[in-house]
Chains A and B, each alone.
Chain A
Amino acid sequence: MTNNSIRVALAGNPNVGKTTIFNALTGAKQHVGNWPGVTVEKKTGSKKYNGYEIQFVDLPGTYSLTAYSIDEVIARDYIVEEKPDVVVHIVDATNLERNLYLTTQLMELGARIVIALNMSDLAENRGDKIDTKKMEKFLEIPVVKTVATKGIGIDQLLDTVIKEAKKGPHHEHMIGYGDDIEEKINQMENILEGDITLSKKYPSRWLSVKLLEGDDEALKKIEGSPVLDQVKNILSTINKEEYEAVMADKRYEAIDVIVPQVASRHDEKMTASDMIDRVFTHKYFGIPIFFALMWAAFELTFTFSVPFMDILDSAFAWLAGALADNVKPDWFGSLLGDGIVGGVGFVLVFIPPIFILFLLLAILEDSGYLARAAFIMDRLMTKIGLHGRSFVPMLMGFGCNVPAIMATRTIEDKNDRLTTILVNPFMSCGARLPVYVLFAGAFFGRQAGTVIFSIYVLGIVAAILTAKLLRSTLLKGDPAPFIMELPPYRVPTAKAATIHMWQRGSMYLKKAGTVILLGAIMIWTLATFPWGVEYGSEDSYAGKLGKVLEPLVAPLGFDWRIAVALLFGFVAKEIVIGALGVLYGLGEDAEEANISDSVEADPKIFALNSLGLMVFTLLYMPCIATVGIIKKETGSWKWMLFAIAYGIILAWTAAFLIFQVGSGLGYD
């Protein structure tokens, strides 16, 4: 603690109301970013209280502090290396045993801890009695009862944090691991203390315990230390797997001694939550209920948001037109209107579905249902190399891939998450539908519906095959274990859900927005220059590019116009139609019916290659917004480029087969 500024880290299990406490502590003063090098959300915030400036960091929710999970490594490295003045450990009062397991590990880290005994109202309502005074005595940690959803106990928590921060660093430990292990811990501590810099940096008991548990990250911390060989000597004498199990046993044993003395538990045979669960995960009704809820969420997200999207769309179109017509010189007006405002508008049009989707996801998550959805769908998703939690993002992909990919953050395992992101674009989004409607309507008459449906199915098949392919090549490895808490059902609070929605939504605006805007300006440049040509016409750079690309798409039965239209489709796939409109000289505002007539009248487009074009539109590189979000969420240019290249190759191959095989069989 320096002057009057205090640094506080928030730690705790998932589903204990950590976010609600964080919100109650910091109010609106929050910043959401990522932890360095990984796409794990890092939330920070601050609060002025009684003359103190308190800085809060919300650590990822974890059950333990092992080296096996990125969340856990982040949490413990922050505590060990950044040494916050106080760690506020949020404990679920209705589930002391499992929550205190984390406490035992936080204590070993040498952190000064304050326990926020959250949801204490729920515990009391069901008849539990928790003696916080006794708990403080046993643990030697101050305990504050809180009900974060109602703001109860927050001021006491802040007072306690300030009081504890003044006490300075803390070095206590609670768990005895039994004579044999304690002896090894002692030996290890003595060795580690031979390295002064090391023992200054890390609590030596903690490091000893971790080394004996076979923790690889801990071993990395002593690389290059003069005591490394001695440490390895000791490690070679023990069975680390046995130690790992015994240490977990001992921690729970210690908790089993404490809990009965501080709390009287009132275990109901059948809680309300259990009863709700009997319905939602019912043998026969569970799946229909799941699909009904998903359908409702989908409808709300994508149907409800359409009028808002239309309003935004027309507003920006009007503004873009006004700027392009009235600002001089002409090229500047066009850049402002068609390029920048058009691009910004394109980013902003996505706001309604994204905000609604995140609101619904927050509600589903906070109510406890999202965990059940994963529970219900896991079997099916595992078969195709994905995870139970992949289902919701995949379904949302039929609406728009951008929020769908952002929704993959609920998937813990890196490979599961990456696979879900990379196959998501094959779920045919709403923007691709107008393209299918146009071509299927023009060339397939009464079969149009069947054709469109088959395209959707083809997308699902492509997603499944790609997932399987990725899982057996680039993202090989055993399937991540599925060991998931099913938290009790709770009524979500409006405040938590809206904050969540706002944070995710604004993240999209800031990060994906810049990439999308750059892409839109790039396309505008290609379509506008050389100066003086008609926007996007044969003489523009885009048109010339189309001519250059023509030989590449000729084997698919596409001419240069289609090449240009597909190029523009990168901005947004529905633009494929608008671009064709421009190329047929109908102007950008051409009615769909007009384009349909022109397309039908064009001898270069017929049933066979229009089918290829629909398939190509389905599979080829994701639109700019999706590409931007893939870059953002994978944190990697490599995977972004992979998504683009893989999509193009797959689309080309599929369209090639359709055209060549179809022609060979005599279709046209």
Chain B
Amino acid sequence: MSETTLNVLEPGSKAKVIRIKGKGATRKRILDMGIVTGVEIEIIKRAPLKDPVEFKVKGYNLSMRQREAGLVVVQPLEV
């Protein structure tokens, strides 16, 4: 499947990180939290009001707003 960004994926799906867009503090923070090239990330669920979204990466749970998730370029994986 082709490249997309993390925010468009539905809960239950998995994806492989290709790169992080943007710059500065937000991008660095995303990298520091372990969302680096090649890592597998799972979309767990959306908050009751649809935003933020919860992910599982490197064995722990992380939440990001759609806005931040939109910076993460991924390749969806077959579940």
Q: How large is the interface on B (under 10, 10 to 19, 20 to 34, 35 or more residues)?
A: 35 or more
Contact with B along A238-259 (1 / 0, CB 8 A): 0001001100110010000000
The CA of A62 and the CA of B39, in the complex, are separated in Å by 21
Residues of B22-72 contacting chain A, CB below 8 A = 23-34, 36-39, 45, 47-52, 54, 58-65, 67-68
The CA of A245 and the CA of B62, in the complex, are separated in Å by 19
Cβ contact within 8 Å between A481 and B26: yes
CB of A97 within 8 Å of the partner chain: yes
A69 to chain B: which residues have CB within 8 Å?
Answer: 25, 29
Our pick among B24, B37, B64 for the contact of A483 (Cβ within 8 Å) is: B64
Cβ contact within 8 Å between A485 and B50: no
Least distance between A415 CB and chain B CB atoms (Å):
13
CB of B15 within 8 Å of the partner chain: no
The CA of A95 and the CA of B67, in the complex, are separated in Å by 26
Least distance between B60 CB and chain A CB atoms (Å):
5
Cβ contact within 8 Å between A485 and B48: no
Q: A375-B52, A378-B65 are in contact. Are A281 and B45 (CB under 8 A)?
A: yes
Our pick among B29, B58, B68 for the contact of A98 (Cβ within 8 Å) is: B58
Least distance between B37 CB and chain A CB atoms (Å):
5
A249 to chain B: which residues have CB within 8 Å?
Answer: 36-38
CB of B6 within 8 Å of the partner chain: no
Cβ contact within 8 Å between A68 and B28: yes
CB of A486 within 8 Å of the partner chain: yes
Our pick among B27, B33, B47 for the contact of A379 (Cβ within 8 Å) is: B47
The CA of A284 and the CA of B49, in the complex, are separated in Å by 10
Cβ contact within 8 Å between B59 and A482: no
Q: How large is the interface on A (under 10, 10 to 19, 20 to 34, 35 or more residues)?
A: 35 or more
Least distance between B28 CB and chain A CB atoms (Å):
5
Cβ contact within 8 Å between A245 and B31: yes
Least distance between A7 CB and chain B CB atoms (Å):
27
B29 to chain A: which residues have CB within 8 Å?
Answer: 63-64, 66, 68-69, 481, 483
B36 to chain A: which residues have CB within 8 Å?
Answer: 245, 248-249, 252
CB of B74 within 8 Å of the partner chain: no
The CA of A68 and the CA of B29, in the complex, are separated in Å by 9
The CA of A639 and the CA of B37, in the complex, are separated in Å by 43
Our pick among B27, B34, B59, B68 for the contact of A252 (Cβ within 8 Å) is: B34
The CA of A245 and the CA of B59, in the complex, are separated in Å by 21
Cβ contact within 8 Å between A483 and B54: no
Cβ contact within 8 Å between B48 and A98: no
Cβ contact within 8 Å between B19 and A483: no
The CA of A486 and the CA of B24, in the complex, are separated in Å by 23
A95 to chain B: which residues have CB within 8 Å?
Answer: 58-60
A375 to chain B: which residues have CB within 8 Å?
Answer: 47, 52, 54, 63
CB of A380 within 8 Å of the partner chain: yes
Our pick among B50, B59, B68 for the contact of A265 (Cβ within 8 Å) is: B59
CB of A101 within 8 Å of the partner chain: yes
A378 to chain B: which residues have CB within 8 Å?
Answer: 47, 49, 51-52, 65
B39 to chain A: which residues have CB within 8 Å?
Answer: 252
The CA of A482 and the CA of B55, in the complex, are separated in Å by 13
Our pick among B24, B51, B54, B65 for the contact of A281 (Cβ within 8 Å) is: B54
A245 to chain B: which residues have CB within 8 Å?
Answer: 19-20, 27, 31, 36-37
B52 to chain A: which residues have CB within 8 Å?
Answer: 375, 378-379, 388, 482, 484
The CA of A249 and the CA of B27, in the complex, are separated in Å by 13
A371 to chain B: which residues have CB within 8 Å?
Answer: 63
Cβ contact within 8 Å between B61 and A483: no
Cβ contact within 8 Å between B31 and A483: no
CB of A287 within 8 Å of the partner chain: yes
Cβ contact within 8 Å between B34 and A97: yes
Least distance between B78 CB and chain A CB atoms (Å):
18
Residue with the highest number of chain A CB atoms closer than 10 Å, among B48, B49, B51, B52: B48
Quick one: closest B residue to A286, CB to CB? B48
Quick one: closest A residue to B55, CB to CB? A486
Our pick among A66, A101, A252, A379 for the contact of B28 (Cβ within 8 Å) is: A66
CB of A283 within 8 Å of the partner chain: yes
Cβ contact within 8 Å between A376 and B31: no
A265 to chain B: which residues have CB within 8 Å?
Answer: 59
Cβ contact within 8 Å between B34 and A482: no
Q: A98-B34, A482-B65, A486-B63 are in contact. Are A379 and B49 (CB under 8 A)?
A: yes
Quick one: closest A residue to B20, CB to CB? A245
Residues of A419-451 contacting chain B, CB below 8 A = none
Cβ contact within 8 Å between A486 and B48: no
CB of A282 within 8 Å of the partner chain: yes
A481 to chain B: which residues have CB within 8 Å?
Answer: 25-26, 29, 64-65, 67-68
CB of A267 within 8 Å of the partner chain: yes
Cβ contact within 8 Å between A66 and B20: no
Cβ contact within 8 Å between B31 and A97: no
The CA of A379 and the CA of B48, in the complex, are separated in Å by 9
Quick one: closest B residue to A72, CB to CB? B32
Cβ contact within 8 Å between B48 and A282: yes
Cβ contact within 8 Å between B25 and A241: no
Q: A95-B59, A378-B51 are in contact. Are A483 and B30 (CB under 8 A)?
A: yes
Cβ contact within 8 Å between A284 and B28: no
Least distance between A379 CB and chain B CB atoms (Å):
4
Cβ contact within 8 Å between A482 and B60: no
Our pick among B30, B32, B38, B54 for the contact of A101 (Cβ within 8 Å) is: B32
Our pick among A66, A97, A379, A485 for the contact of B62 (Cβ within 8 Å) is: A485
The CA of A488 and the CA of B26, in the complex, are separated in Å by 24
The CA of A97 and the CA of B20, in the complex, are separated in Å by 20
Quick one: closest B residue to A96, CB to CB? B59
Quick one: closest B residue to A66, CB to CB? B28
Q: A101-B34, A249-B36, A483-B29 are in contact. Are A379 and B51 (CB under 8 A)?
A: yes
The CA of A484 and the CA of B26, in the complex, are separated in Å by 12
- Residues of chain A at the chain B interface (Cβ within 8 Å): 63-64, 66, 68-69, 94-95, 97-98, 101, 241, 244-245, 248-249, 252, 265, 267, 277, 281-284, 286-287, 371, 375-376, 378-380, 382, 388, 481-488
22 A-B pairs with CB atoms under 8 Å apart are A63-B29, A64-B28, A66-B25, A68-B25, A69-B29, A97-B34, A98-B60, A244-B31, A245-B31, A248-B36, A249-B37, A252-B36, A281-B45, A379-B49, A380-B49, A481-B26, A481-B68, A483-B29, A483-B68, A484-B52, A484-B64, A488-B61
Q: A68-B29, A376-B47, A378-B52 are in contact. List 5 more A-B contacts (CB 8 A).
A: A97-B58, A244-B28, A277-B61, A287-B49, A482-B52
Closest 10 CB pairs of A and B: A379-B49, A68-B25, A64-B32, A248-B31, A486-B61, A286-B48, A481-B26, A482-B65, A97-B58, A249-B36
